[in-house]
Amino acid sequence: MENIPIAVLASGRGSNFQAILDAIDAGECSADVKVFITDNPEAKAIERAQSKNIPVEIIDKREIKDREQFDLELKKKLDGYKVELVVLAGYMRIIKSKELLDSYKYKIINIHPSLLPAFKGTTHAQHEAYDYGCKVSGLTIHFVTDDVDGGPIIYQEAVDISDCSSGDEVAAKIIKHEHKAYPKVVDSFAKGKYVVEGKHVRYIKK
């Protein structure tokens, strides 16, 4: 089984990134992280990459303000590392460049902490689910397209949040599921392929 060469992008603490690294170490995720890329020079996730000797590329959001220019810089970096899958793991920027999206079509995935399309396009989905009084929320792993949080859905998992008494509790509960689900989905890219037909995603094992 060949490992799939991936890039991981994160802007903050990177606990999902760590879950992927741990799964790789445990032999449960057939991926090679060729590069870690961040827009935030202070991201905790940088240390996680460094501790595994993974190359780190920082594209400072304070230096490149223009979205298109930023994404083209990102594309250059990704092209250089020859990755087959780009994993967004708490990457807090919207990818807007058509050039980047077109050349990595159905090769960029994201994880969102709600059952999409509920709580789409927000960075506080867990708190909004709690405030709404939801009994069930969850997570969605989807392809990234120009429709923010609206790309074809690869995987979803429902999480019972009826016992939670704050948005923070909801977030803490859902993230545990994220940590299990994301490495499995990354692994599935090494073991087969996803075929996208409109909004529908079908999996074909190798």
Could you list the residues that contact ligand GRF (CB under 6 A)? Answer: 10, 12-16, 89-90, 111-113, 175, 178
Number of H helices, E strands in the chain: 6, 9
Q: Coil, strand, or helix at residue 113?
A: coil
Q: Rounded to whole angstroms, what are the CA distances from 164 to 46, 69, 72, 95, 113?
A: 31, 42, 42, 33, 15
Q: Which of 112, 124, 127, 142 is catalytic?
A: 112
Q: If residue 145 lies in a helix (H) or strand (E), which one and from where to where? A: none
**How far apart are CB 91 and ligand GRF at their closest, in Å?**
7
Residues in the chain: 206
Residue number, 49 or 111, with CB nearest to ligand GRF: 111
**Is 202 in contact with 195 (CB distance < 8 Å)?**
yes
Residue number, 69 or 166, with CB nearest to ligand GRF: 166
Residue number, 17 or 106, with CB nearest to ligand GRF: 17
The CA-based angle 65-71-72, given to 5 degrees, is 110
177 as an active site residue: the answer is no
Q: Which residue is nearest to ligand GRF (CB)?
A: 90
**How far apart are CB 204 and ligand GRF at their closest, in Å?**
26
Residue number, 90 or 183, with CB nearest to ligand GRF: 90
CA distance 115 to 1: 32
**How far apart are CB 206 and ligand GRF at their closest, in Å?**
28
**How far apart are CB 90 and ligand GRF at their closest, in Å?**
3
Task: Point out the residues that are catalytic.
Answer: 112
